[in-house]
Amino acid sequence: MRLIVSSKSDPASMNIREKLLGSSWECPGEFMGNPYHRKGDDILITVEEHHIYFDEADRMVSTLIEEDLDLVVFISKHASKAGIHSLTVHPVGNFGKAKFGGWDHMLVPPAPEEMRFALGRLRDGAKKVKKNYQVSLEVTHHGPYLTTPTYYIEIGSDEVSWTDDEAGEIVAAAVREQGRYRTKRLKRVVCLGGGHYAPHFTDMVKEKEVSVGHLIPGWALKDLTRDGLQTALEQSGTDLVCVDPGGIEGGIFKTIKAWCGQLDAEIVEVSDI
């Protein structure tokens, strides 16, 4: 069973929600004062606050419907001062303090193959519209906290893009198609280094038969601990660490290599995948 979470305080989320509900869904009841919808193995809920602060939605919805969930997808906006038109996918959690939802030093299990599939569908959809949308992964960087495999799929980066009908349909189509996709497990990696939009790792996923779990950018490595790396590997279902060496300070890189040795994890550069 897959849970899709939308937020009334997020215009992009409501845009995508509208496109998803354009096809036939049942409305069996309410969740926290708002109607929830069901179609086959999908449940779609709508919450009032921005969903990065809505912890444990998986637990609450599973209790409501008396069924287990195996995937959670948050449909969302992406905000950026640069205002770049973008479509992004990323895992969830915090390696350091929870400044934007979730819990301090707590990660959420990612969904590597599902993220890879969604990213490919965003790329396909972006080719068919006039507006130039930049399609990329983002790194692990905010809440909420859950225990079910989860990813965010987003429209960025301003009001014009958030409410754009074509962008809403591209993301809705990716979510619909991913729900019909039967996952084939690929080589998985945890990614370290680089910038927020992970361009080298995005290219890697595009060009190679590989999927990514957690992504830790260069600016977040100061918050990474040995236990945090171990959790990222375990949740991502891999013992392979892929690094963008240009985005890692030398002393930190030496420490990470030592941790990988202690954890029996292999470490490779992105160019060697």
pLDDT tens per residue, range 106-120? 999 999 999 999 999
Q: For residue range 48-103, what is the model confidence (pLDDT) as tens digits?
A: 999 999 999 999 999 999 999 999 999 999 988 778 899 999 999 999 999 999 99
- Which conformational region is residue 171 in: left (phi greater than 0), alpha (psi within -120 to 50 degrees), or beta? alpha
**CA 19 – CA 1 distance, rounded (Å):** 20
Whether pLDDT at 247 is above 90: no
Domains and CATH numbers, the chain: 2-180 (3.40.630.50), 187-272 (3.40.50.10700)
* Alpha carbons 157 and 178: distance in angstroms, whole number: 23
Average pLDDT over residues 172-179: 93
Amino acid symbol at 245 = P
By the 8 A CB rule, do 138 and 198 touch? Answer: yes
**Lowest mean pLDDT segment, chosen from 50-54, 136-140, 201-205, 247-251:** 247-251
Mean per-residue pLDDT, 168-184: 89
User: Residue 233: pLDDT above 80?
Assistant: yes
Neighbours of 228 (CB within 10 A): 21
Q: How far apart are CA 58 and CA 70, in angstroms?
A: 9
Span 199-210, mean pLDDT?
A: 96
User: In the predicted model, what is the mean pLDDT of residues 179-183?
Assistant: 75
pLDDT of the residue at 14: 98
pLDDT one-digit tens code per residue, 34-47 = 999 999 999 999 99
